[in-house]
Structures are given as structure tokens and as C-alpha cells.
Structure 1
């Protein structure tokens, strides 16, 4: 559901429009010609592929006089869409304005929980769409249909719900599955970047290799988007345990597995001696993290600087390897 990076495709389309004389448009007075010539076939300056929206049909939060005239669980409708950083884009029609904002994960869960009290649909938007601005009264159902590019004359959330359900591509969703999906993508992306080790790096001395991985892990841990996801996973652990498990499996467990393999290789090569590489990897990760991650989640103090993270990684590696080498020396003395 999180859109893929279509930068190359979009740039290629822009270059095609710019270099193709057949697509040159007549410039409007006062508008730079290069902008006019950059529009795509839909009249847009940018070409954006269609994405999925999470459409929430919900009961009201407070009783209103007009609620008696609409379906009990579908008195309001709003749209949400996850981003690649863990936040959510919210489009919610009000009586007095259209609220368009970016929500951190913990706040987004509030809206998703509200959606869970009614019905949640995953709907692919239509680009360029077949809606029209000549729609009459613009209530929440009409405006959300317009966001989706749907031509619909229904004026109630229930009518829009039934209309969207008739589309074969529409899917019902639940809150926990949505959180699992987003947590998996966001945490997996950060973990993959932090734990990526090239062939050249694998040939480095163990201390240098662990320092690189440790620094990358610390930088990933302290990324605001991951801190928000961690906070949400803790906050919603009781309600949505599967989402919390995803955080553990794609975050700490994945790091422990990678570090364990590196330590096993070092043991085979005779650089260190460890009885349990997985347990040692857990200890190393705990030494790296210490309490700075918890402080960040709880928003205590200022975030550490890159220099401080680098020093922390180097210190943790030295302490860890000194302990491993001391254990090896002690074992040899005993023998």
C-alpha cells in the first residue's frame, strides 16, 4: 500500500514531455513556458501513480440531530494513507473545512480505531479520475468520493460505502492488519539499511566491522520515524499484539541474527571465543542501546549528535571485544 519510488519513471516522463515538440503547449501569459510544456496528459505538472487509500466509515463521536437520518455505523467518512516514514496522511472533511494533515503513528491509530468501530475499506484512487466539481452539496461522502476520483451522486457515507464495495478491487481491512503491514515495511526498510554489509566491509577487522554496524544501528534507532513506531508499538501492545511482534521481529531480532553470524565467523577464524554467539549478540545490542533509546521514546533530554553516537558505538565495541578476548584468555589459562 505504501507507494514505491517512481522517481526514475516520473523523471523519464518529464524528459519525454520536455523534449517532444508535439507535446509543446501554448503558454498562458505570465506563466513560464517550461512549466506549461511540462504538464502531462492529465494536465498536471507531475505524474503521480495511483495509490491505495484507507477509507473509514464511522459512527459519530458526539450525537448530532441529523444522525437519526443516516446509517448507524456510517455517519461520517474520512480517508487515510500511510507514508513510507511511518506517519499517515489524513483527509477528513469537516463542516467548516477540509482537514489535511500528517499524523504520527500514535495519533493515526486513534483514527484507525475509530474506523474499526464502523467499516474500513482499501480503495485504489482513480487517476485522472472521473469525478466532477459540479456535484452540488459537498458533504463528507461527496468530498471523499472526489478525493478518490469517483463519480457518485450519493450524499451519504452509507451510499458511498455500498458504491465502493461493488468495485472488485475494493478490500475490507482491519486495524491490526494495517499496522502490521506498515510496521513491517517501515521497520524492515530501516533495518535493511542499517544491517547492509558489503563484501568489502566483511573483510575488515572485526572491531571496525562491528563499529560500522553499531553506528548504523544507533542512527536507525534514533530516527524520529522509528522512535514513533516504537512508541506506538508499546502503546498498542495490548490491543494489537501482532503489530508489536512485528516490531520485535523486524527490529531487534533481525539485528541479533546478523550480528550473531558475524560473531560466529569471528569465532571460526579464531579472533574471539564465545560459547553462545546469539547471547553475545544480544549483549552487544544491549550495550549499544543502553538507555538512550528509551530516553528518546519517552522524549527525555536532547537527541544525541552523530558524533556522540559514533563514540558510543566505538566504546561499546571495545568493551564487548575486550570481554570476549578476556574470556578467551581465561579459557586458555584454565586449559
Structure 2
């Protein structure tokens, strides 16, 4: 019986993932306002009852899309699993973060929210809480640990996290959003190195001053 339940759970999880992937294409292509649950159903097939069992509304489905992208960021931003000194950890985080937000899905999500935010302010708030805000919170936790260990100056860890991520995005993210110009390879590495150097001048421990 447990094995059957496990297989059932796996099928349900796979179905949910399939729905989110299909919805991602539709929402990014049509925009939140024009996209509909009927469009998603026409792509994934099956019964509408199953679709609404997984996601009771369009809002809930869009939040799942947001979390799918933000989870990709969080998966590559696990400082505790990155070996080395703080500088090396930040370099790794920076490069991984940029690769995700400059990806096709990352850029499409930001573009969708920019175009829909004024029409759906509640959705915009949910986007921040489940996306950028969540990433900042997780990074702030890591910074607090480093502050306790003396590797970073004291102060507002959340503000430090927001500043670090904001410096990483900078014009690199803006130009990619506006007209698709994305840095590659060495350009990303150089950008991240400059950001980390500047960040540690302000927030590094006593040995970094």
C-alpha cells in the first residue's frame, strides 16, 4: 500500500509540474491578463477537475510559476554548500544568480510583471514576496551568520542582501530586459568580481577594510 501511495504521489507531482510548465509558456506569451485556465487546460488535456484540483485559480497557478523561477535561484544560492572564504562564496552566488535571472524564464517573468503590475497590484505584491523578496530573505540569513562569525560588519543584513543583489542586476539585467542584450562568459565573471569587491569594501569584516 505505501508503494502504491508513493507512485500515486509521484504521478500527481509530475502532473503538477507538467501543468506549471505549460502555464509558464502561455502566461509569458499572452500576459497574465489575457491568459486563462481554459488555455492551460487545452494544452495539458485531461479533465478540468484535475486542473482545478492542483490549482484552484489563475492567481494560484501564476504564483506557482513565480516560485518555480525563484526556486531555481534559491537552489543555486545555498552558501552553506559552497566551500571557501566569503569572497569566493559571493562570487559563486553572483554568477549563479545572474545566470538564472538572465535566463529565458527569468527575463520573461520580470517582463510579465512589469507589464501587469499596475493592473494587478495584488499579484505584483505576491510576485515580490514569492520571488525577489524570498531570495533577499534567504541571503540575509547567510549574512547574519557571517556577521556573527566576524566575516562581515554588523548592521541590517536584509539591506545588505538587497544591495548585493541590486548591484548584481544593475544595467546588466536592465539591458537584457529592454532589448535582449545579455553578457556572456568572461563579461559576467568580470561584472560579478567588481560587484563583490565593492560590496566587501563596505560590508567585509575588519580584515577586508
Partner of 1:283: helix, strand, or coil? Answer: helix
Aligned to 1:183: 66
In the alignment of these two chains, the number of paired residues is 195
How far has the Cα of 1:85 moved from its partner?
8.7
The residue that corresponds to 1:105 in the other structure is: 28
Query: 1:180, CA displacement in angstroms?
Result: 2.4
SS in 1 for 2:139: helix
Give the 3 Å change call, closer, same or farther, for CA 239–270 of structure 1 in structure 2.
Answer: same
- Equivalent in the alignment of 1:321: 200
Partner in structure 2 of residue 195 of structure 1 = 77
1:264 counterpart residue number? 144
Residue 132 of structure 2 corresponds to which residue in structure 1? Answer: 252
Q: Per the alignment, do residues 180 and 241 of structure 1 end up closer, same or farther by CA in structure 2, a change over 3 Å counting?
A: farther
* Contiguous gaps of at least 5 residues in structure 1: 1-5, 10-48, 54-80, 89-103, 125-143, 151-163
Question: Residue 309 of structure 1 is aligned with which of 175, 188, 194?
Answer: 188
SS at match of 1:86: helix
- 1:187–1:247 CA contact under 8 A, matched in 2: no
**Contact conserved, 1:82 with 1:182, CA < 8 A, in 2?**
yes
Q: Higher strand proportion, which one?
A: 1
Pair 148,251 (structure 1): closer, same or farther in 2 beyond 3 Å:
closer
- Alignment match, 1:16: none
Alpha-carbon shift at residue 196 of structure 1 (Å): 2.9
- RMSD of Structure 2 on Structure 1 (CA): 3.7
Q: 1:257 to 1:291 in 2, by over 3 A?
A: same
Higher helix proportion (structure 1 or 2): 2
Equivalent runs, 1:1-335 vs 2, <5 Å: 82-83=20-21, 86-88=24-26, 105-109=28-32, 111-112=34-35, 115=36, 120=37, 148=45, 169=50, 171=52, 174-184=57-67, 186-197=68-79, 199-201=80-82, 203-299=83-179, 302-325=181-204, 328=206
Question: Does structure 2 conserve the Cα–Cα contact (< 8 Å) formed by 1:237 and 1:244?
Answer: yes
**Greater length-normalized contact order (CA 8 Å, ≥ 6 residues apart):** 2
Measure the CA separation in 1 of the matches of 2:21 and 2:115: 20
Q: CA deviation at 1:110?
A: 5.5
User: Gaps (5+ residues) in structure 2?
Assistant: 1-6
Superimposed CA distance per residue, residues 260-287 of structure 1 (whole angstroms, 9 cap, x where no aligned partner): 2222222212223222111111111111
